């Protein structure tokens, strides 16, 4: 391949594609390299939740930008990405939990979010079929919601194809060419060399091992998560329901009526295995029915595994590195789908304008990783 590109992106998940879209919109010629096919990593295994309810100013601002872009996608792409603002309801089963929601709500409201602390009765008004056993209350944002990951990436691909940028599938980057302290390009499996002075690592759960090719260590570790989807149900509720108990779960009803959801396994399961387990199928079904007993008639159509790419503090790394021209947009810690529109825009701004959009300390590579996002 003799063509030259302004930026090479490793990985065509939703992060790499959003970055390619935003860089292309700003006139750059981008090459996206994908070892499998677009979305085949975590992106099409995700359940499509989108929320602004985070516990830090930087994450909330990031999500406010993402939300703005999700709202505009139908017009931009010319088709619906099934974006729907049905809300997000976090349930509280302990006073500690409820108090921490109240504390975080003060910050969220100060940044302009519509956040409502709910009594048990008010939770039942939002989700009438909710089992209130042991419930103390909740926190609800009506503006949060969902979109369909397959359609979002289809939109990005469509827009990228209208530009001079290129997406190549089934090509694996096996080496990065680094001379002195500067990136010079990448080498594909089979030996093809592609030269370029700007490379973004958007390799999702594989970002850590990809970064080692440039000699840059990243604190990013893949963790297995599973999800399931049921057949279509009559409309039962509009909001994502999040139960943070150690044996809790989170799920939502898609606009076509299907219920889609998952839980965070304890202990965490390291790795990129995408298998689906009988244990998850049984547990997730029990946990869902505990919250919405009416779902005992739902039939599970499919269940699958995928990866979260975790950082020690649960916030992504979106930054330049000590290798000039080598950037990272990874470690999404379970929020990469909802973060992707903003991260695509902001990594473009960082590369082109050499400027962070706002106080970016939370997303820098060199940061104190001891703080933790409360609403993980
Ligand atoms: C069960 C589950 C539920 C989830 N639910 C949500 C949710 O509700 N909301 C939300 O926001 N997020 C959710 N997520 C997280 C979300 O899916 C991820 O954060 C997001 O998809 C990350 O996108 P990415 O582009 O960084 O990674 P990926 O989609 O994994 O893309 C990385 C790509 O890089 C490619 N690649 C890797 N190495 C190389 C190489 N050497 N050469 C070329 N290509 C390479 C891979 O093949 C892959 O396609 C969920 C995840 C899971 C597993």
Measured in angstroms, how far is the CA atom of residue 334 from the centroid of ligand 1? Answer: 9
User: Using CA atoms, how far apart are residues 281 and 249, in angstroms rounded to an integer?
Assistant: 12
Residue 287 has pLDDT above 70, yes or no: yes
Does residue 32 have its Cβ closer than 6 Å to ligand 1?
no
Cβ atoms < 10 Å from Cβ of 28? 19
Query: What's residue 371's pLDDT?
Result: 76
- What are the structural domains, with CATH classification, of the chain? 7-48+150-220+313-363 (3.50.50.60), 85-143+221-310 (3.30.9.10)
Average pLDDT over residues 301-313: 97
Average pLDDT over residues 228-242: 98
Residue 2 has pLDDT above 80, yes or no: no
Query: What's residue 370's pLDDT?
Result: 86
Query: What's residue 375's pLDDT?
Result: 67
Cβ atoms < 10 Å from Cβ of 145? 27
Measured in angstroms, how far is the CA atom of residue 154 from the centroid of ligand 1? Answer: 15
Query: What's residue 81's pLDDT?
Result: 98
First to last CA, the chain: 42
Give tens-digit pLDDT for 42-66. 999 999 999 999 999 999 999 999 9
Measuring from atom 18 of ligand 1, which residue has the nearest CA? Answer: 336
- Residue 55 has which token pair? 């516990």
Answer yes or no: are the C-beta atoms of 357 and 349 closer than 8 Å.
yes
- Give Cα separations from 60 to 120, 194, 248, 359 (angstroms): 26, 37, 24, 12
Burial 73-85 (b: 16+ CB within 10 A, else e): bbeebeeebbbbb
Give tens-digit pLDDT for 81-131. 999 999 999 999 999 999 999 999 999 999 999 999 999 999 999 999 999
Measured in angstroms, how far is the CA atom of residue 167 from the centroid of ligand 1? Answer: 17
Residue 374 has pLDDT above 70, yes or no: no
Percent of the chain with pLDDT over 70: 98
Measured in angstroms, how far is the CA atom of residue 44 from the centroid of ligand 1? Answer: 8
Contacts of 211 (CB under 8 A, 6+ apart): 201, 217, 218, 220, 321, 328
Helix (H, G, I), strand (E, B) or coil at 264: coil
Average pLDDT over residues 20-45: 98
Helix (H) or strand (E) holding 15: helix 14-25
Measuring from atom 48 of ligand 1, which residue has the nearest CA? Answer: 41
Instruction: Say how far residue 19 (Cα) sits from the centre of its chain.
Output: 14
| Mutate which of 10, 19, 37, 42 for ligand 1 pocket (most atoms within 8 A of beta carbon) | 42
Measured in angstroms, how far is the CA atom of residue 336 from the centroid of ligand 1? Answer: 7
- Does residue 126 have a cis peptide bond before it, meaning omega lies within 30 degrees of 0? no
């Amino acid at each position: 391949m003799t063509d030259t590109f302004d930026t090479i992106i490793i990985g065509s998940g939703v992060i790499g594609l959003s970055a390619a879209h935003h860089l292309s919109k700003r006139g750059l010629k981008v090459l996206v390299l994908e070892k499998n096919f677009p979305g085949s990593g975590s992106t099409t295994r995700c359940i499509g939740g989108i929320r602004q309810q985070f516990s830090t100013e930087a994450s909330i601002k990031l999500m406010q930008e993402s939300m703005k872009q999700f709202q505009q996608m139908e017009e931009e792409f010319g088709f619906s990405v099934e974006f729907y603002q049905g809300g997000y309801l976090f349930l509280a089963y302990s006073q500690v939990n409820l108090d921490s929601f109240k504390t975080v709500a003060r910050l969220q409201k100060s940044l302009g979010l519509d956040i409502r602390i709910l009594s048990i009765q008010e939770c039942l008004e939002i989700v009438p079929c909710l089992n209130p056993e042991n419930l103390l209350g909740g926190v609800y944002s009506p503006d949060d919601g969902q979109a369909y990951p397959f359609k979002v990436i289809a939109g990005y691909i469509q827009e990228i194809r209208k530009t001079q940028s290129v997406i190549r599938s089934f090509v694996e980057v096996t080496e990065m060419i680094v001379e002195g302290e500067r990136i010079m390009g990448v080498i594909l499996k089979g030996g093809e060399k592609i030269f370029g002075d700007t490379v973004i690592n958007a390799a999702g759960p594989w970002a850590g091992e990809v970064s080692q090719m440039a000699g840059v260590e990243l604190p990013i570790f893949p963790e297995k998560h599973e999800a399931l989807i049921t057949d279509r149900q009559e409309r039962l509720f509009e909001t994502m329901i999040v139960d943070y108990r150690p044996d809790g779960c989170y799920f939502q009803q898609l606009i076509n009526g299907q219920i889609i959801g998952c839980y965070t396994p304890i202990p965490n399961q390291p790795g990129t295995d995408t298998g689906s387990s009988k244990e998850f199928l049984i547990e997730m079904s029990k946990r869902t029915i505990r919250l919405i007993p009416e779902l005992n008639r739902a039939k599970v159509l499919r269940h699958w595994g995928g990866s979260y790419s975790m950082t020690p503090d649960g916030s992504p790394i979106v930054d330049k590195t000590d290798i000039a021209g080598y950037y990272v947009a990874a470690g999404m810690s379970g929020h990469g789908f909802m973060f992707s529109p903003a991260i695509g825009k902001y990594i473009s701004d960082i590369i082109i304008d050499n400027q962070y959009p706002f106080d970016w300390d939370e997303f820098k590579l060199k940061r104190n990783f001891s703080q933790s996002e409360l609403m993980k």
